[in-house]
């Protein structure tokens, strides 16, 4: 419920309007899991709320810790529906990787989640709950505050546009978690209309585009979304986004052996990088069960990155974390459950 809806409901119960602000603060800033925790409300009011309302929060089903300290959490978001969130610690940051959908409809060939059917969009509350859990885990286990949030878990965030943006509003609001939008990144497979809409909405958070090939023929082979959102269409949308927001875009580029790891591919990527100010994250591939793609040779990856850097492009090589618990990029899909409906990202 919005604060306005809370105010209307509480006034109908004969309560003063300021009670709505108190309840709202408990829900979104203090993240209460029960009405009993709302200790600045009278006991009769807490009992009345308990009788007439419920707090619908996600619950933790399973937790795994990697040798590199990465923690993967499986969250129950309804009967037969589970998503995963990942806490990724490094020497300089503590990042929460969260999901926006149960499953995914885009079926990118290199992604385990893409092999699962889409079961539902997560609500704003279910998205925020993942952040809250990982935030508390970061503080209790590693004594560090959460520094970054990336919408790079299960699902395509821009196909759940309204709920994703509402979740970010709750995360960044002073009445919510109060995190800076500049510490939040949404990753998309490339939906041009929604990228344009982000620009029109003048969002303050960061945008990452899962590119993986700056060549339509190659991108068509691994990402079916490119058939309707090709590179020329994406380029126009990105120009619009940058013109409206002034925010540098990140291109994510997984390097696959003998597919997109040659200097010719780097040349095409460098040309695409001229469209707007950007940076490139080169990501090592994490093989999934079908074995269709393989990780590129380290020497080739380094040569690829050097080619871009020589052309004054900002490049980061991302080494995967959490591989031993299937928590790395592209690996989020429950391997231990027989039924599709129990999805672990």
Q: d(Cα 147, Cα 130) in Å, to the nearest integer?
A: 15
Give the number of other CB atoms < 10 A from CB of residue 67.
10
pLDDT of amino acid 341 = 29
Helix (H) or strand (E) segment spanning residue 283: strand 278-284
Structure pTM? Answer: 0.89
Catalytic residue at 108?
no
| CB distance 63 to 72 below 8 Å | yes
CATH topology (fold) of 59-325: TIM Barrel (3.20.20)
Q: d(Cα 151, Cα 141) in Å, to the nearest integer?
A: 22
pLDDT of amino acid 293 = 84
Q: Dihedral through CA 191, CA 194, CA 195, CA 196, nearest 10?
A: 130
Residue of 230, 227, 224 lying closest to 108 (CA atoms): 224
Q: For residues 239-277, b (16+ Cβ closer than 10 Å) or e, as one string?
A: ebbbeebebebbbbbbbbeebbbeeebbebbbebbebbe
Active-site residue identified among 84, 126, 156, 252: 84
List of residues 6+ apart from 189 with CB closer than 8 A: 106, 108, 156, 210, 223, 225
Residue 93 tokens, joined = 């940051």
Residues of the chain within CATH 3.20.20.70 domain(s) are 59-325
Q: d(Cα 23, Cα 2) in Å, to the nearest integer?
A: 11
**CA-CA-CA-CA torsion sign (114, 119, 121, 122):** negative
pLDDT of amino acid 140 = 95
Bridge partners of 36, per DSSP, are: none
Per-residue pLDDT tens digits of the chain, which is 345 residues long: 889 999 999 999 999 999 999 999 999 999 999 999 999 999 999 999 999 999 988 999 999 999 999 999 999 998 778 999 999 999 889 999 999 999 888 878 788 777 788 899 999 999 999 999 999 999 999 999 999 999 999 999 999 999 999 999 999 999 999 999 999 999 999 999 999 999 999 999 999 999 999 999 999 999 999 999 999 999 999 999 999 999 999 999 999 999 999 999 999 999 999 999 999 999 988 776 656 788 889 999 999 999 999 999 999 998 766 566 555 454 445 443 322 322 322
**CA-CA-CA-CA torsion sign (6, 34, 14, 28):** negative
Catalytic residue at 329?
yes
Give the number of other CB atoms < 10 A from CB of residue 181.
16
pLDDT of amino acid 332 = 47
Residues of the chain within CATH 1.10.150.530 domain(s) are 3-52
pLDDT of amino acid 108 = 84
Q: d(Cα 108, Cα 211) in Å, to the nearest integer?
A: 11
Active-site residue identified among 73, 104, 108, 329: 329
Residue 212 tokens, joined = 């993986």
CATH topology (fold) of 3-52: DNA polymerase; domain 1 (1.10.150)
């Amino acid at each position: 419920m919005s604060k306005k809806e809370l105010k209307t409901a509480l006034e109908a119960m004969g309560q003063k309007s300021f009670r709505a602000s108190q309840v709202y603060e408990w829900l979104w800033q203090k993240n209460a899991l029960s009405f009993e925790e709302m200790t600045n409300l009278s006991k009769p009011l807490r009992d009345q709320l308990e009788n007439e309302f419920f707090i619908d929060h996600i619950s933790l089903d399973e937790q795994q810790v990697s040798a590199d300290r990465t923690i993967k959490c499986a969250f129950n978001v309804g009967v037969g529906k589970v998503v995963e969130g990942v806490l990724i610690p490094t020497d300089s940051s503590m990042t929460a990787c969260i999901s926006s959908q149960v499953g995914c409809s885009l079926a990118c060939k290199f992604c385990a989640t893409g092999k699962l059917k889409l079961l539902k969009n997560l609500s704003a509350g279910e998205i925020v709950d993942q952040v809250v859990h990982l935030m508390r885990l970061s503080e209790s286990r590693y004594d560090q505050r959460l520094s970054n949030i990336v919408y790079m878990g299960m699902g395509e965030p821009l196909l759940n546009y309204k709920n994703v943006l509402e979740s970010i509003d709750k995360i960044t609001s002073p009445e919510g978690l109060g995190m800076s939008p500049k510490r939040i990144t949404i990753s998309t497979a490339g939906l041009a209309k929604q990228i344009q809409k982000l620009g029109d909405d003048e969002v303050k958070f960061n945008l990452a585009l899962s590119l993986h090939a700056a060549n339509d023929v190659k991108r068509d082979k691994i990402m079916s979304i490119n058939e309707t959102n090709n590179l020329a269409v994406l380029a126009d949308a990105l120009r619009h986004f940058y013109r409206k927001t002034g925010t540098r875009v990140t291109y994510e580029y997984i390097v696959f052996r003998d597919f997109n790891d040659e200097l010719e591919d780097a040349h095409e990527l460098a040309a695409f990088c001229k469209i707007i100010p950007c940076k490139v994250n080169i990501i090592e591939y994490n093989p999934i069960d079908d074995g269709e793609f393989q990780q590129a040779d380290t020497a080739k990856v380094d040569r690829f990155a050097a080619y871009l850097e020589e052309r004054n492009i900002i490049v980061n090589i991302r080494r995967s974390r959490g591989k031993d618990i299937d928590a790395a990029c592209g690996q989020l899909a429950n391997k231990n459950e027989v039924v599709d409906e129990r999805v672990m990202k």
